[in-house]
Amino acid sequence: MISLIAWLALPAMADENISAVYKDVKNTVVIVTTTERVVSTGSEIREVRMSGLGSGVLISRDGKIITASHVVHNADAVVIQFEDGETIPASVLSSSPSTDLALLQLENMPPDPVIAKLGNSDKAEVGDQIFVVGAPYGMGHTLTVGYISGKRKEKIMAGDAAEIELIQTDAAVNQGNSGGPMFNLKGEVIGIVSHILSRSGGFEGIGFAVASNLAQDILLKQPFFWHGLEGFYLEGAMAQIFNLPQETGMLVQRVAKGSLGESMGIRGGKIIAVIEDQQVLLGGDIILSVENVPLQLGFLQEMRTRINAIKPGDPITITILRAGKTREITALKK
C-alpha cells in the first residue's frame, strides 16, 4: 500500500514542479502579430492585407526573440506583445524557411525583462516531461504539458542537403503556438514549436519543435539573412515550361516590406493560377542564382557561407529572369 501511494503521488509532484517553473519563465514568452500583403481575387484581382499570429521567446537583454520562420518571413510589419499587455514593434534579423526558424529584434526593451535560457537539446530524451507556452488561437501564455515522444531528423528540402532535428511531443499545440518555446523541467528552452500532423486541422497528439541546438546554430552562430521572399521552386518539366536557362529556379510569389528582396527591387507575382493542384502567383521574377550560386540541391548552405563572408556595406548580387531576359541586380549588405 505504501508503494502504491508513493507511485500515485509522483504525477502531483511533477505538476507542482511545472507550476513553479512556469511562473519563472512565462514572462519570457511573447505573442507575435504580423501583417502582410497578399493577392486576393473576387470580382477582380487585388492586393489586400492579412493578419498573422504566432508566439516567440525573448533570449537576450538587447531584445532578440526567436520564433518560427513561417510566422514572420513574409511579414510587412511585426509587433510583439508581452504578458502584461505591452506591445513593441520588432524587425526580422534572420529567417531560415527551410528550418522554420527566425530571429527578431525589438525596437526597444520593456522594463525589467525576463530572459529565457537556451538548453542543450542533445540531452533531451524520449520520455522526458516537457511543457509548451504560447498563444493558441490568440489565448496568450497558455500552458500545455506532455512528453518527448520522439526525436526525428528529416532532410531539408528546397535547396539544402542538410538535416533538421525535430523534437516530437504529445503536448497540445495549435494555431498560434508556432514559434513558441518548448521547456524542460529546468525551465530551459529545448525547442521552438514548428508544426503538427493533423487530419482535422487541430491538434491530434503529434506536434514538432525544432531543436534548440539547431536554432542556436542557424540564428546565433552563423545567421541566415532575411531575404523576405516567398518562392515556388521550379524544376524538371516546370523549369522547361517557364523557359529557364538552367535546371532549377525560384518563381517569386511575395516580397516582404523592409526585406533584402524589397531593397533589391525584386518583384512578386500578380496573377493567380493553379498548377498541379497548387495555387501559384505568376508574373514575378525568377531567381536563378545568388552570389553566383545557382539554385540546386545544397545551394542554401553554400549561399549562406558566401553571404556571411560579405562585409556590411558591400554588394550582394542576385541573377534573375524577368520578362524572358536574364539580368543581375545588387543591393548593399546591411
User: Side chain identity at 327, as an amino acid letter?
Assistant: R
24 is catalytic: no
| Location of C-alpha cell 526567436 | 66
- Residue 137 near residue 124, CB atoms below 8 Å: no
DSSP state string for 193-221 = EEEE--SSSS--S-EEEEEHHHHHIIIII
DSSP state string for 277-298 = TEEEEESS-EEEEETTEESSTT
**Which residue in the list 76, 100, 160, 170 is annotated as catalytic?**
100
Cβ-based neighbours of 160, under 8 Å, separated by 6 or more:
98, 297, 298, 299, 300, 301
**Which residue in the list 70, 94, 96, 212 is annotated as catalytic?**
70
Q: Which helix (H) or strand (E) holds 70?
A: helix 69-72
Phi, psi of 221 (to 5 degrees): -85, -45
- Residue 226 near residue 213, CB atoms below 8 Å: no
The 10 Å Cβ neighbour count of residue 77 is 17
The set of cell numbers assigned to 52 is 498573422
178 is catalytic: yes
227 is catalytic: no
| Location of C-alpha cell 473576387 | 42
- Residue 241 near residue 202, CB atoms below 8 Å: no
Q: How far apart are the first and last CA of the chain?
A: 68
- Bridge-based pairing state of the strands 188-196 and 117-118: parallel
**Which residue in the list 55, 69, 178, 289 is annotated as catalytic?**
178
Q: What is the distance between the alpha carbons of residues 211 and 237, in angstroms, rounded to a whole number?
A: 36
User: Side chain identity at 279, as an amino acid letter?
Assistant: Q
The residues assigned a catalytic role are 70, 100, 178
